[in-house]
Amino acid sequence: MTASKRVDMPIPISRLVETMERIAPTRLAQEWDNVGLLAGDPRARLRRVLLCIDLAPAVVEEAISEKVDLVLAYHPPIFKPISRLRADAWGAESQVFQCIAHGISIYATHTALDAADGGTNDVIALLCGAEEVEPLVHGEALAQASVKLVVFVPPKNADRVAEAMFAAGSGRIGDYSHCSFRIPGKGTFLGSQTTNPARGKRGRRETVDELRLETIVPRPSLPAVVHALIKTHPYEEPAFDLYPLLERPVGGIGRIGRLRRAVPLATLAGKLKKAVHAPSVQRVGPEDRPIDRVVIVVGAAGRLPLAAPLTPNHAIITGEIRHHDALTIERIGCTAIALGHWSSERPVLDSLAVRLRQALPTVQMAVSQADREPFRPV
């Protein structure tokens, strides 16, 4: 097992879960998929991780032999509801049982990694030499688990209020903390006879200098942040607004891109076959057809690529193609390359391991050597 660094202190598995949420957020997965931590205790220690495409019996044996704490599998070994977990079962539940019995947690990423930046489809796009790469189908904007808080505060009190809100959980954007935006302006108010204004006098309209202070607040932290705001704000009745946010446009399933120069279909197929170490590659269309556009959907593409505006210079790059979809591709007049389901997905593991080592340098990351293409060339 190739180690990233000798381990001094283990970290909890929850740290890896958090890291994967940044690399391949589970919300990007298709709704029918089953991704995330499928088995294990988030509080358990994490020293060694084994990455694979399929949690096959040989991979489980490797994980046990290498004494790993977690297997990060691309394909979810738990996909449909399981009624029994038995060691003698013929399905994937046997491998799940063996992992649990040896204290090995299981994390699956699948279509979340397909849609994520730098994921499975982007890796194949890079191997194609594609440029101007965009998602084939963009993800929908979803309600985000955070809000924008806007408060109006005297300039001399702004830092104190902001620091209190930051300490309570606001102001984080990605890996940045203490994030805020400030705009100077004028505030007006007129307090009744029952008020006790911090500035000016009751019963008289006042105009004061104020800052519009904006920051981002995760919804779970909202009560604590609002409490901190009210506690540190100098006004008797501080004015503040809460704006629900939508998720920024993020990836989506599949990729479509342009090649710098046109190449024959057979040349592109041969290049990819070598790059992904595929035992065999199939193509649809004439070998000499010039290709300068690619539509990429790793694994089993189904009819998803057929939704794209395809032309004769497009090539669909995927793992496997059904017979009738191949006939449709021929009728459309474009081309396709099938690298093999496993072979189209496997290249992402090396780049994912590198990203995990950078984020979790005290954890040993290794790509499985037992994980392999189930089909053999004749």
CATH code of the domain in which 322 resides: 3.40.1390.30
Residue 3 has a pLDDT of 46
User: Domain check: are 185 and 129 in the same one?
Assistant: no
User: Domain check: are 54 and 198 in the same one?
Assistant: no
Which of 145, 149, 174, 180 has its CA nearest to residue 162? 180
Which of 55, 69, 63 has its CA nearest to residue 12? 69
247 pLDDT exceeds 90? no
Tokens at residue 184, please? 């100077």
| Mean pLDDT for the chain overall | 91
Burial class (CB in 10 A: 0-12, 13-18, 19+), 276: buried
Full-prediction pTM beyond 0.85? Answer: no
The string of pLDDT tens digits covering residues 280-306 is 999 999 999 999 999 999 999 888 888
Q: What is the mean pLDDT of residues 332-360?
A: 96
User: Domain check: are 15 and 64 in the same one?
Assistant: yes
132 pLDDT exceeds 80? yes
User: Domain check: are 127 and 158 in the same one?
Assistant: no
Given pLDDT bands bounded at 50, 70 and 90, which one contains residue 8?
low
Residue 346 has a pLDDT of 97
CATH number at 239 reads: 3.30.70.120
Q: Which residues constitute the domain of residue 99? A: 11-110+347-367
User: Domain check: are 150 and 237 in the same one?
Assistant: yes
User: Domain check: are 132 and 262 in the same one?
Assistant: yes
User: Domain check: are 37 and 101 in the same one?
Assistant: yes
Residue 220 has a pLDDT of 85
d(CA 8, CA 202) in angstroms, rounded, equals 63
* Residue type at position 180: S
Maximum CA pair distance of the chain? 93
Write the CA distances from 366 to 70, 103, 122, integer angstroms: 11, 18, 21
**What is the count of structural domains for the chain?**
3
- At residue 30's C-alpha, the angle toward residues 356 and 283, to 5°, is 85
Poorest-confidence range of 24-28, 49-53, 61-65? 24-28
Q: What is the mean pLDDT of residues 164-186?
A: 93
C-alpha 217: how far from chain center: 21
Per the model's pLDDT, the better-predicted residue between 197 and 299 turns out to be 299
d(CA 6, CA 362) in angstroms, rounded, equals 7
d(CA 266, CA 45) in angstroms, rounded, equals 49
